Amino acid sequence: MDAYDRITRNAAEVVTDEEGRELAASPDGKRAYVGYEPSGVLHVGHMLTANKLIDLQELGFEVVVLLADVHAYLNGKGTFAEIRETATRMQEQFVAYGLEPDSTEFVLGSEFQLDEEYALDLHALELETSLSRAERAMAEIAGDDTATVAHAVYPLMQALDTVYLDVDLAIGGLEQRKVHMLARDTLPGIEADAPTCLHTPLIADLTTGVGKMSSSEGLSISMEDAAADIEEKVGKAYCPPTADPDPTDDGEERENPVLQLFEYHVFPRFETVVVERPDQYGGDLSYESYADLEADLESGALHPADAKGALATSLNELIAPGRERIESERT
């Protein structure tokens, strides 16, 4: 797999493709960043972007993880003391999961976002941006919450962060797309360079297949869950025998979260996935590619219950080393 394929593996899009190829041609020393609100324990939905950071580190990128405490405060996620405690826990989880600590720069937003120069540049961006554009950029992140002035400022801060962190590549889930496009449109207006942007798919809610996995709503698989917890949660997962489920009765689009987790988490980390089955049900199945597993689920050769069992086992193998490392450091 060449550098471009590694950069774009499991990515929904790169803006722009030409810029992505330029980064792939000379990745050493380039800086990639992801920002996370410290608002809870990391779950497997978060780890799609973390997997991408691991890919980039292995290519020679410098990785910056913004623990966005000021953003979390603006989004009503608690006091600064509570948010920073969560940020410390998130940093432990990222390193335990596989980010290389020597080539990962963890930064609290409050380390630079409260400075006078940043505030003045933020005001300059405000002059470049209509209120409606800022609200549209924040809409998918804020969800159904009542819009506040803080919600309008939030995406402008995200845009400015890429300048102050000196990044070449900004990474986020697809819900960040409007924010990144806002950054690309407005930063030149304050004579700043806009980053290339890479967007990862969103893992759907585990029990419904709708929207995205969240630690505050629905069911999520935490990076600290025990094996029994993972098995129980995956057992409750929505898993129709198809990768393209019908919409809900209300017309909401659905995904198959079990297949998503196989595609985006399991197969990138395992060469072979074994589905264990009793001999009377055909014996074990072995897969070397996601496409083959999906095809067997569609055809009926693989039962959803057996797919869930293999997924729970695989996720526990991925999570266990980090979980055990965190437990040992806390005792």
- What is the reported pLDDT for 261? 97
pLDDT of residue 145: 67
| Predicted local distance difference test score (pLDDT) of residue 151 | 87
Instruction: Give the model's pLDDT for residue 141.
Output: 67
At CB < 8 A and 24+ separation, what contacts does 187-191 make? 187/125, 187/159, 187/160, 187/162, 187/163, 189/124, 189/125, 189/128, 190/121, 190/124, 190/125, 190/128
Q: What is the pTM of this model?
A: 0.90
Which residue ranges in the chain fall short of pLDDT 70? 140-145, 215-216, 218
- The 10 Å CB-count burial string (b at 16+, else e) for 212-241 is bbbbeeebbbbbbbeeeebbebbeebbbee
Q: What is the CATH number of domain 227-330?
A: 1.10.240.10
Q: Class for domain 3-200, per CATH?
A: alpha beta
**How much is the pLDDT for 216?**
66
Whole-number pLDDT of residue 144: 61
Domain boundaries, the chain: 3-200, 227-330
